[in-house]
């Protein structure tokens, strides 16, 4: 069978399988899955990993599988088996997408899509880590989307396994707590409280990661002035409003004025192939803008420390007023 026909066959099989799952989502029964895996005896763990992996490929909700793993195997083995199944499934979906469509997307992508793919590839494993810890997209869809990039397979799989571990532990423990609640016992309340604590920690994790991640770099006003005089100057993006841009502090000559509240809708105005330097009055709005741009695939984003206040204080070059 030629490569073209094999790709067509894979697309048909995937489409049919995903359609069946989506049409029968309400009929997916974790209890039936648990009984089926338990009946497999010593082959149960391997069977569970395989089912989890295939479920990820065909868009079975990962939460169903993870809760079932906790109920079947407990918090420790359940976490390990859930993580193994989720990582294997994520890798299979990644490889399928890469085989079927990555070359086609690379040839056809343009505009904002090309900019996004370029930014994701430049970030590499860091982008994978960020999206696994701060899930911006559904797990199953993200696996296929990342397969359309040129992120290395090994980096993708390892980062996926490591960065999904906190969530896997929390949801596995919830499944275990549910089984304990049904069975009864003296430790039910304690187990439930631990499960709630883990869920709260996972819910807080995205905010913590975003705070730690910050912009790709900070740049002082004096350093920015030197870079602007160099051979490959950055694009200065001023995220203040038009009144401030033309106001008392003025603006840096050549700066692109994209107010923060308009940034999302004007990404096409930002050059995709040059580094960016973000500036506002201080640096608070610039920091927010940097986080937005990084999640949209811009890899080289610097925040001007102190903003136009520092620039006008003599640390940078003279500013203009249009």
Closest CA relative to residue 48, chosen from 81, 17, 79, 19:
81
DSSP SS3 for 45:
helix
Catalytic residue among 280, 287, 301, 310: 280
What is the Cα–Cα distance from 167 to 171, expressed in whole angstroms? 6
Cβ neighbors of 230 (< 8 A, separation 6 or more) are none
74: left (phi over 0), alpha (psi -120 to 50) or beta: left
Give 121's Cβ-side CA count (13 Å radius).
12
Task: Look at residues 239, 256, 255, 245 and name the one whose alpha carbon lies nearest to residue 292.
Answer: 239
**280 part of the active site:** yes
- In this structure, which long-range contacts are made by residues 4-8, counting pairs with CB atoms below 8 Å and at least 24 apart in sequence? 7/99, 7/100
| Cβ pair 68, 77 in contact under 8 A | no
Measured CA to CA, the distance from residue 4 to residue 277 in angstroms comes to: 44
How far is it, in rounded angstroms, from Cα 140 to Cα 130?
16
Locate 152 and state its tokens: 């290395």
Q: Which two tokens stand for residue 225?
A: 């002035």
Report the Cα 111 to chain-centroid distance in Å. Answer: 21
Active site residues: 280
């Amino acid at each position: 069978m030629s490569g073209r026909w094999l790709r067509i066959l894979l697309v048909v099989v995937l489409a049919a399988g995903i359609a069946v799952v989506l049409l029968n989502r309400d009929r997916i029964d974790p209890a039936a899955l648990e009984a089926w895996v338990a009946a497999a005896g010593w082959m149960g763990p391997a069977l569970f990993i395989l089912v989890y992996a295939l479920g990820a490929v065909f868009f079975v909700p990962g939460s169903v599988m993870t809760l079932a793993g906790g109920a079947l195997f407990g918090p420790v083995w359940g976490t390990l088996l859930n993580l193994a199944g989720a990582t294997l499934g994520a890798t299979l979906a990644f490889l399928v997408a890469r085989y079927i469509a990555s070359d086609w997307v690379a040839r056809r992508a343009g505009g904002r899509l090309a900019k996004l793919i370029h930014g994701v590839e430049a970030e590499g494993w860091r982008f994978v880590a960020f999206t696994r810890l701060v899930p911006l997209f559904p797990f199953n869809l993200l696996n296929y989307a990342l397969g359309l990039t040129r992120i290395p397979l090994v980096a993708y799989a390892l980062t996926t396994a490591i960065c999904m571990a906190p969530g896997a532990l929390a949801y596995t423990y919830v499944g275990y707590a549910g089984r304990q609640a049904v069975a009864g016992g003296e430790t039910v309340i304690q187990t439930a409280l631990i499960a709630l604590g883990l869920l709260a920690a996972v819910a807080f994790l995205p905010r913590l990661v975003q705070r730690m991640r910050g912009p790709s770099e900070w740049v002082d006003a004096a350093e920015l002035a030197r870079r602007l005089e160099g051979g490959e100057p950055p694009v200065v993006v001023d995220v203040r409003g038009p009144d401030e841009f033309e106001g008392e502090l003025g603006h840096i000559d050549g700066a692109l004025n994209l107010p923060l509240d308009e940034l999302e809708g004007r990404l096409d105005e930002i050059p995709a192939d040059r580094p960016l330097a973000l500036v506002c009055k201080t640096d608070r709005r610039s920091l927010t803008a940097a986080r937005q741009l990084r999640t949209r695939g811009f890899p080289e984003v610097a925040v001007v420390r102190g903003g136009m206040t520092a620039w006008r204080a003599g640390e940078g070059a003279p500013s203009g007023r249009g």
